[in-house]
Structure 1
Amino acid sequence: MEIKQLKYFLEVCKHKSFSKAAKEIYITQQGLSKAISNLEEELQYPLLHTTPKGIKITKYGQYLQKRSEHIVQEFDLILDDMNKMANINEGTLTVCFSFGVLNALSPDIISDFQKTYPNIKLVIKTYPDSICEEVVMNEKADLAVSIGPVNEKTFNSTAIKSQYPCILVNKKNPLSKKTSVDFKELKNEKFIILNEKFHFYHNFINKCRESGFEPNIVFTTSEIITVHKLSHFNKGIGISIDFMAKDINYEDIYPIPFKDPSFKWEICLITKKHRFEPNLVKIFTNYMLNY
C-alpha cells in the first residue's frame, strides 16, 4: 500500500465521483480507477461500489477512510518539514578542489561564498584529479571541482571554465621562436609534465598518440612549479597551462600555445551519479556557475 493510493482513495471518497476526483488530482479517470482496483486487490476487500446514483463506500472503505485520513495528513506534514529542512541554507559542505584549480579561478571565490552564505560551513580539500574523483565516489566529499574529462557513467559533470595548455621552451631551443606549436613538431622532444594522477598527463599523451608518436616523458611531478623550474634548467620541454605560465615567470622560458583548440584544461563541477544532491550542493553549484 502506498501513500499515493490512499490519497487517491480519499479523494474519491470526498467527491463521491471518479471523474471529479481525477480532475482534482490531475490524473486520468482510467488511471484513478486502476489505482483503486490495485488497492482493493492488495487489501482483498471491496472499498467502493459504483451505482447509478454515484459512488458508494463499503464498510471496509469507510473504515479505511477513517483510519487513513490522519496517516495522509501526518505524511504531508513530514514531507513539508523535510522540504523546509532541505531549503535551509545552513550545514556543512565538503568540496574537493584539484591542484591548481583555485589558482585558475578567482582568489576570492571561497571567501565570497562564505560571506554570501555565512551559515554554510565549507570544508575544502585539495588533491590531484584522480583522487578528487575517488573521494567523491566514496562519498567522502559532496562534490569536486576538478579537471575533465570524467567518466560520465560514474559522475555528473558541468564545465565551468577552460584554460589552455602551452609548452615551456627554453630560449636555447629552436621552438622558442614559434608563436604556436603543432603536436607533430614535438615528436623528438623530451617532456616534463604533471604525473599520471592528473588528467592533464593522460590528455597530453593521447594527443601525442593521435599525432603518431609516443611522447618521451623524462620527468613527472605533482607540482606544476617543478615543471617550470626544470624547463628553466633546460632539462626538457615543460607542459603547463596558460595562467600558470603568467604566474611563474622565468626570463629564459617562452610559453608557446598549442595550435589544437581541442586540447584544453577544462574545470568541471562533478558529483556522484545517482546520489541524492542536498540543497547545499545545489547552492554551491549555482554559485560557481554564476560567479
Structure 2
Amino acid sequence: MDIKQLKYFLQVCKHKSFSKAAKEIYITQQGLSKAISNLEEEIQYPLFYNTTKGIRITKYGEYLREQSEHIVQEFDLILEGLNKMANINEGTLRVCFSFGVLNALSPDIIPGFCEAYPNIELVVKTYPDSICEEVVMNENVDLALSIGPINKKNFHSTIIKTQYPCILVNEENPLSEKTAVDFSDLKDEKLIILNEKFHFYHNFINKCKESGFEPNIVFTTSEVITVHKLSHLNKGTGVSVDFITNDISYPNVYSIPFKDPSFVWEICLITKKDRFMSNLVKIFTNYILNH
C-alpha cells in the first residue's frame, strides 16, 4: 500500500464512480480499476461493490477511508514543506572551476552571482580538469566547470563556451610566417604544453597521433603563463588557447591558430549522474547559461 493507491482510493470514494475519479486524476479508467484491485488484493478485503445505482463502499472501505484521509493530508503537508525548503534561495553551494575557466568566462562571474543571490554562500575551488571530475564524482562539490571531453557515463554535461587552441611561435621560428598550422607542421617542433592533468594535453596528443606522429613534448606545466614565457625565450613552441593571448602577450611571439576546426577547448558544466539536482544547482546553472 502506498500514498498513490490511497489517493486513488479516496478519489473513487469522493466521486462514487471510477470514470469520474479517473478523469479527475488524469489516468485511464482501466488503470484506476487495476490500482484499486491491487490494493484490495494486498489488504485482502473488498473496498467497493456494484449496485444497480452504481458503486458503493464496503465497511472495510469505510474504515480505510476514515483512517487514510488524514494520512494523505499529512503527506501532502510534508511535500509542501519540502518544496518550500527547496525553493528557498539560500544555503551553501560548492563549485569547482578548472584552471583558466574563470578567465575565459568573465572575471566578474563570481561577484555577479553573489550580488544576485546574497543568501547563497558560494564556496569556490580551482583544480586541473581531472581533479574537477574527481571531486564531482566523490561529491566533494556540487558541480564543476571543466574542459571537455567529459565522461558521459559518469556525468551530465552542458557545453558553456568554446575557445580555440593556438601555437605560440617565437619570431625566429619559420612557423611564425604561417597564418594557420596543420598538426603535421609540428612534427619536428619542441613543444611546451599544460601537463597530463589537463584534458588539453591528451586532446593535443591524440590529434598529433591522428596526423601520424608522436609529438616531441619537451616541457609540461600546470601554469599556462609558463608556456608563454618559455615561448618568449624561444625554448620551444608553446600550445595555448586563443583567449589567453589577450592577457599574456610578448612582442616577439606570434599566436597562430590551428586549421583543424574540431580541435577545440570547450568549457562544460558538469554534475554527477544519478545525483539529485538541488535548487541551488539549478539556480547557478541558469545563471551561467544566461550570463
TM-score range, shorter chain: over 0.9
Are 1:98 and 2:114 matched, yes or no? no
- CA drift of 1:178 comes to 0.6
Per-residue CA distance 1:237-261 (angstroms, 9 max, x = gap): 1100111112111111111110111
Alpha-carbon separation, structure 1, partners of 2:151 and 2:230: 32
Query: 1:57, CA displacement in angstroms?
Result: 1.0
Runs of 4 or more consecutive aligned structure 1 residues displaced over 3 Å after TM superposition: none
- 1:189 matched to which residue of 2? 189
User: 5+ residue gaps in structure 2?
Assistant: none
| Separation (CA, whole Å) in 2 of partners of 1:6 and 1:281 | 33
**TM-score when normalising by structure 2:** 0.99
- In structure 2, the residue matched to 1:139 is 139
Tell me the equivalent position of 1:276.
Answer: 276
TM-superposed CA distance for 1:46, in Å, is 1.1
* Offset at residue 7 of structure 1 (A): 0.1
Q: Following TM superposition, by how much is the alpha carbon of 1:230 offset from its aligned partner in structure 2, in angstroms?
A: 1.2
1:226-280 Cα shifts (integer Å, max 9, x gaps) = 1111111212111001111121111111111101111111111000011100000
Identity of aligned residues (%): 79
Give the drift of 1:223: 0.5
Q: Matched residues in 2 for 1:39 and 1:242: separation?
A: 64
Q: CA deviation at 1:203?
A: 0.6
Provide the secondary structure at the position in 1 that maps to 2:106: coil
Q: What is the root-mean-square deviation of aligned Cα atoms in Å?
A: 0.7
Which letter maps to 1:143?
Answer: L
Number of aligned residue pairs: 291
1:53-132 map, 5 Å: 53-132=53-132
Mean CA deviation greater in 230-239 or 1-10: 230-239
CA distance in 2, matches of 1:112, 1:209: 42
Residue 38 of structure 1 corresponds to which residue in structure 2?
38
Once residues 39 and 281 of structure 1 are traced to their aligned partners in structure 2, the CA distance between those partners, rounded to angstroms, is 38
Inter-partner Cα distance in structure 2 for 1:255 and 1:48:
80
> Which stretch has the larger CA shift, 137-146 or 50-59?
50-59
1:17 corresponds to:
17
Distance in 1 between residues matched to 2:143 and 2:94, nearest whole Å:
7
Aligned-partner SS, 1:144: strand
What is the distance in 1 between the residues matched to 2:23 and 2:205?
61
> Please, which runs of 5 or more residues in structure 1 have no aligned partner?
none
- Opposite residue 73 of structure 1, the aligned amino acid is Q
- CA shift digits 1:148-207 (9 cap, x unpaired): 110111101001111110001111110011111111111111111101110000110111
Give how far 1:91 is off.
Answer: 0.6
C-alpha deviation, 1:125, in angstroms: 0.3
Partners of 2:15 and 2:246 in 1: how far apart? 72
Q: Which residue of 1 aligns with 2:223?
A: 223
CA distance in 2, matches of 1:205, 1:84: 50
Q: Using the TM superposition, give the Cα deviation of residue 134 of structure 1 relative to its aligned residue in structure 2, in angstroms.
A: 0.3
State the 1:48 CA deviation.
Answer: 1.2
1: CA distance, partners of 2:188 / 2:148 = 28
Residue type of the alignment partner of 2:196: E
Deviation at 1:285, TM superposition (A): 0.3
The TM-score, its normalising length taken from structure 1, stands at: 0.99
The answer as to 2:171 corresponding to 1:171 is: yes
Between the aligned partners of 1:4 and 1:20, the Cα distance in structure 2 is: 17
Cα offset, 1:50, TM superposition: 2.0
| 1:3-50 alpha-carbon deviations (Å, 9 max, x no partner) | 000000000011111001001111100000000001111111111112
- CA apart distance, 1:51: 2.0
